[in-house]
Chain A
Amino acid sequence: MKPLMNAEQIAGALAKISGQITSHIRAESVDASKLALVGIRRHGEILASRLSDLLAAELKFKPPVGALDITLYRDDVLRAPLTIPLGTEMDFRLDDRPVILVDDVLFTGRSVRAALDAMVDFGRPQFIRLAVLFDRIGREYPIAADFVGQTVEVDRDTVIIVNLYPMDARDQVLLMPTAKKERLAP
């Protein structure tokens, strides 16, 4: 296993994403007071909550954070292994809001496809932009990120393992090469 990012580098990547979002909001004259962040459970949720803190300092408004469970919206929901859903926690509606969808790794685009489907069940946002910690090659659906912490070029059989506190013991990102042809579930 090879380290890809340590805690400090993760914090730096998040600060970079926060800066990109702030610039975008100013350039596009977005009503920042309506901004909301939605993180895909569970790593995206942690990243979204940290981004909300960073954005609060810049925007003088702390965007609310929703935690989106995409289990029941996945295109492989009824294929093995069956996943127990965690549930979505979103105590605000998305109607007419500018929304930033947050995830750890953008790879095939399938999780984001599911997330977009799930989000429209919570209202009709003004727009949705996508922020990811890592953008890696291997897209299977036509989806692109708007805000990216780091682009990584690794082959398809390498797994990017993201650890984030408090879900994991500490912040770190590792690369794990696998011999197996099939990938682990994202």
Chain B
Amino acid sequence: MTLTQQNWKRPHLITLEQLSASEISAILDTARALQEVSTRSIKKVPALRGKVVVNLFFEDSTRTRTSFRLAAQRMSADVVDFAVSTSSVSKGETLADTARNLEAMGVDAIVIRHRSSGTPEVLSRQVSCSVINAGDGSHEHPTQGLLDVFTIQESLRKSGRKLSDIHVAIVGDIIHSRVARSNLWALTKLGARVTLVGPNTMCPQSMEKLGVNVSHDLDSVLPHVDVINMLRVQFERLTSAAFPSIREYHHLFGLTAARLDRCKSDVLVLHPGPMNRGLEISSAVADGSKSAILRQVANGLAVRMAVLYLCVGACATSHEN
């Protein structure tokens, strides 16, 4: 009963960069244990009964916000969705004041998404409740990185392989992608080989300093990888000079059925969503047998349940002592 305990002491989840391999494994193990809850007729466990989780999203989100909400509910926490557009934030209230007011209402965890990198980190130093990063600027999206690794592990278990046996390609606008960054940290810490693929302007050679390979030629990488994680083309950046044209991008970096045919037969395709079908990924690939895109969504729930349990739990136990 006490075999793997004590591996988690953090009240906050801000980045995967700062976690050790064993801390990442503790989250993934917890998520694996919690996966079963969503298959029951009563999809709930009482662990976080009486705890309050606030979703504080300063950027649009459908699946992450819903996933966190459902995850908190499955752990029996109460959830408040804080709509920034109708809140006092639009009247000029500072983030710190908003957070302190929420805390004064007895909140146990704040799940925050913000366009500025580093916001969750700053917030975590100003409040005594848990802070969970649901995406900050182009910095990190830790629960996405975790659910991607979780999905890869789930698939590897069928063939008895480990993360240290595989090679993962992350394809797209790497430099602006918080998903890429969180994936990169989790994968490399757990021993996987990672190649970042994208146009020179979005995937600079200097990223090799992070302990990964960098390539600008998707076709030369595909036959060698076990997993392809296709990033979303962020339309908000399409006007920048870094992005030549949609047609050129699709031609060079879009994952099509023809490209998939040149991959290993057991290759796994991931995409964090929302997808631009026909741009970075074709419908035939997204809906095909190699795609784990809907598994990612299902696994996201288990991963977020695990993160809420561990962070709120660590916060509660540290106050206890």
Contacts and interface: CB of A to CB of B under 8 A. Distances in A.
A82 B1 CA distance: 11
B316 interface: yes
B30 interface: yes
B262 to A, nearest CB: 38
Interface in A43-92: 69, 71-73, 77-89
A111 to B, nearest CB: 9
B29 interface: yes
Contact of B1 (A42, A87, A117): A42
Given A69-B33, A121-B44, A84 B7 contact: yes
A103 to B, nearest CB: 11
A83 B30 CA distance: 9
Contacts of A85: 30, 33-34, 309
B5 A82 contact: yes
A3 interface: no
B45 to A, nearest CB: 4
A97 interface: no
A185 interface: yes
B2 A83 contact: yes
Contact of B46 (A81, A88, A117, A186): A117
Contact of A80 (B1, B7, B35, B321): B321
Contact of A82 (B33, B36, B41, B317): B317
* SS of A interface (majority): loop
A69 B29 CA distance: 14
A112 B312 CA distance: 25
Interface in B29-68: 29-30, 32-36, 40-42, 44-48
Interface string A149-176: 0000000000000000000000000000
A72 B29 CA distance: 14
A81 B40 contact: no
Given A78-B313, A79-B320, A80-B320, A87 B2 contact: no
A26 to B, nearest CB: 32
B33 A77 contact: no
Nearest to B51: A78
B8 interface: yes
Given A72-B47, A78-B316, A89-B36, A41 B5 contact: no
Contacts of B313: 77-78, 82
Interface residues of A, number: 26
A186 to B, nearest CB: 7
Contacts of A121: 40, 42, 44-45
Interface in B206-228: none
A70 to B, nearest CB: 9
A143 B82 CA distance: 44
A141 interface: no
Nearest to B2: A185
A127 interface: no
A81 B317 contact: yes
Contacts of A79: 316-317, 320
B86 interface: no
A80 B46 contact: no
B40 A77 contact: no
Contacts of B32: 87
A84 B317 contact: no
A80 B9 CA distance: 10
B36 A87 contact: yes
Interface string B1-43: 1101111110000000000000000100110111110001110
Interface string A114-128: 000100011100000
A81 B5 contact: yes
Contacts of B29: 84
Contacts of B5: 81-84
24 contacts: A69-B33, A71-B1, A71-B47, A72-B47, A73-B45, A73-B46, A78-B47, A78-B48, A78-B317, A78-B320, A80-B317, A80-B321, A81-B6, A81-B317, A82-B8, A82-B9, A82-B313, A82-B314, A82-B317, A84-B7, A84-B29, A117-B46, A121-B40, A185-B1
Interface of A: 41-42, 69, 71-73, 77-89, 117, 121-123, 184-186
